[in-house]
Each structure stands twice: as C-alpha cells, then as structure tokens.
Amino acid sequence: MNLLFCINGGYTGPLLDCLTSIVLHGGEPHYDVYLLSSDLSGEAQQALLRQVPQGITLHFIAVPRELFEGFPETGRYPQEIYYRLAAPLLLPTELDRILYLDADIVVINPLGPLYRSDFEGKLFMACTHTRELLTRANSHRLGLEKPVPYINTGVIMMELDGLRREIDLGAIRQYAAEHFDALLLPDQDILTALYGSRVKVIDSQLYNLSDRILAFYNANPAHPRHSLDWVRQHTVIIHYCGRNKPWKENYLGVLGVFYQHFSRQLTEMEQKLPPEPVPMRREERRVSDTGKIRDILSACDCCRLGLSDDGRVYIVPLSFGFTEQDGRFTFYFHSAKEGRKIRLLTQNGCAAFELDCSYQLKEGPTACSHSALYQSVTGFGRVTFLTQHEEKKQALLAIMRQNTGREDWEIPEAALDNLCTFRLDADEISCKEHR
C-alpha cells in the first residue's frame, strides 16, 4: 500500500504517531510511505528511520521550494499544503495510486477497502465537510459556474496515471494569483475550484471523521445516531483537523478517546521493546572507533542476514556494500525480486546481520588451549526496499566498490528495473577484534 504525507521538519512527531496507528490498525503487512518535504535534513531523516515502526518503508522526496513561488502562505498554512497538488509529478512513475493523509490523523480500522475502491472515472476520492448551503457559498466565492462539493484535503485517494496527464502547475499558480483575495483555505480552495468535478465523494463518517462532523451528523434528527461504539466498529480514519487536537491542552470533543486508546497501545508497545544489549563479556575485544569498524567492514567479503521465518531462523549470505555517516552504518544488498528472503524481509521489515574476516587459528599445546584470531561485526537494523533509479544505482555502486575497489561503473537501466535492491540501516552494531 502506497501512502503519502507532506510535512515540514516541525511535524515529525505527529507523523510518527499517525504511522504507528496505521501499523496497529491499517490491516496491511507493509506500507510504502512517501514523504514530500523541502526542509527535512539528513539528520531528521535518519531520526525518522530509527523511530519508524516495523512494516513501514520510508521514501524521502525533496521538493524544490521554487515550484510554489508566489503561492499564498501563512503560519498556519505553510507552503507544504500545496505539495499534495504536485505529488503526481514528483512521485515515482511506476505508482498508479496513492493515499494521501494529513499527519493529524489516527487510523482505527483497515484501510484496504478505501485503498482498493474503484475511482469510477474520477481522479480523486475525498470527503466533503460542508453542508449544501455552504457548498453553494464556497462555489460562488471561488468563481465557479456551478456548485461542486467542497473538498477536505486531509484524506485523498489519487489516481496517479490520470493526474500525471491532467495536473498543470501553471494553471494552479495562475488560479491562485487571480483569486488570491478569495482564498481562505488555499489548498482546499484550489483543489475544489480546479478539480472538484473530478472527485468521487466518499463517506466522511467512515474516512474523514472529525468531532465537528460527528456533532453535525448527530444533531440531525433524521439521522440514526452514531455512537462511539458505532465509530469504533465502522470508522476507518479519524481526523483531528483544525486547532482542536487531543494531544493539546483544552481539547474539546469526544473522539479524543480513540487517540488516548492509541496512546495506551503505544505505551504498551514501548514497554515490550527488547532490553538494552547485554554488555560484552570480553570488553577488551570491543571496537568502538568508527574508523576501525569501517576498516573491518571494508575487509569483509560476505554479509550474513538472519531472518525470522515463523519461529525459525533463516540465514542467507549476501554480497554487500556499505556507507557510514556520523557513525551510523547503512548496508546495501541486491537480489532477484522474488524468493524466500524477499518474502521474509517484506513481512518482518528488519534483519540481524553478521560479518567476519581475518580468521587465523592460534594453536596451543592442548586441544582446549587453541583459540582464534578474528575481526567481526554483528547487529540489527530496519530494511528499506529501494524504488527510485538514483538510489538503486547508488546502492549497486556501493556493492561494486566493496567487491572491486572501484565505483566508476556504468549501471544499465535494465539492471535497475530487473533487480531488487534494499538497504539495512543499522540500529544496533557491535564490533569485536581478537588480534
């Protein structure tokens, strides 16, 4: 399942909460999450990679800020709100659909029925949070010839192939300039004005429920009342839109109980995390110098991955490459697109690893006095499958550098398409040396 978020560096906390709720309740074994941002530093990206829950593969896409030069912005509505409009032009071309979510969302039921819905010839699927009278008022404000549903952009399914043909950033920029004074919620106004007729409207009680929408619905005597039990059983996405959020002081609303429940689940998960690594028995053999670890890895020929397979351990030896930045190591691998290890990596999202070199038997006068000289590296990390050609190329070049000492290789486009490449970001690493 492909998911999209558009964030700035100050919103990584709510994003992680949202992703955790998706892993807990979204119903899928794995999610490819694409992050559009213009200000996520390398350090911030590494922090997200360390904290993201298992089952999530993050893909970072840098957005040139000049793309939206001149678009209306405020402190509450920064430039990032427009990135979702340009997403079809920025995402990998092999993606055919994606679900965009605001980060102030929690998921409480499976996403699959929404994600796999038929677009019925439309470009978007989204909800409206406005009633008929306000819909007409918004259409008049936006200069539309006839009313269209006013779209809430917090949850949007996108039909990417069609959007790549029809999205025109020039037209979006022109509309924003010509209607500057009329725009109140700029991204929603623009999407409604230019593409409102190309939206399949879906049920906000199921897919974009807020406290205000629930209250309006229950205030209508013609509607059967939707209790919190009904929400728990039927609603998929709860959206804490606006300033009224349950993680802030003075929250007013009833849907905060779902965030509180999710927070308790998260606390329980954190309590179940494995303990800190046991101190090394032969502390004198520990290698902690990053440069020394890098030298030992450079001398290794093979990396063995340990994978969990329904209670059994599956170990597979692989050629590898690696990089190091600020003391954090990333390993790169390639393989066929299908097979046992790909299935297990997809299911688990993580792997243990072991490398060793410089083995030499040190003989003694008796059997029990023999020992061995060696250098070894072990650890554990999260796995990310690489999808974009440039990152796949860099992974293959790192592997070639490890095996040949050279990195000035030409990588054919066919190889980038036909091979599966993935990286392992080492969350834990331990290096030992006996010389």
pLDDT at 421: 93
Distance CA 431, CA 104 (A): 41
pLDDT at 279: 63
pLDDT at 307: 93
DSSP states along 280-336: PSSGGGEE--HHHHHHHHHT---EEEEEEETTEEEEEEE--EEEEETTEEEEEEEE-
pLDDT at 76: 64
Amino acid identity at 109? N
pLDDT at 271: 53
Q: Which residues of the chain have pLDDT under 50?
A: 273-274
pLDDT at 378: 95
* Residue pair 169/90 in contact by the 8 Å Cβ criterion: no
**For residue 377, what are its two tokens?**
């590296």
pLDDT at 41: 80
The pLDDT tens digits for 118-127 are 999 999 999 9
Helices (H), 142-277: 160-166, 169-178, 186-195, 204-207, 211-219, 228-234, 256-271
The pLDDT tens digits for 152-182 are 989 999 999 999 998 888 888 888 777 777 7
pLDDT at 382: 84
pLDDT at 405: 92
The reported pTM is 0.63
pLDDT at 267: 61
* Residue pair 34/5 in contact by the 8 Å Cβ criterion: yes
Q: Which domains does the chain have, with CATH numbers?
A: 2-269 (3.90.550.10), 283-434 (2.30.110.10)
pLDDT at 395: 93
Residues 6+ apart with CB under 8 A from 331: 303, 320, 321, 322, 353, 381, 423, 424, 426
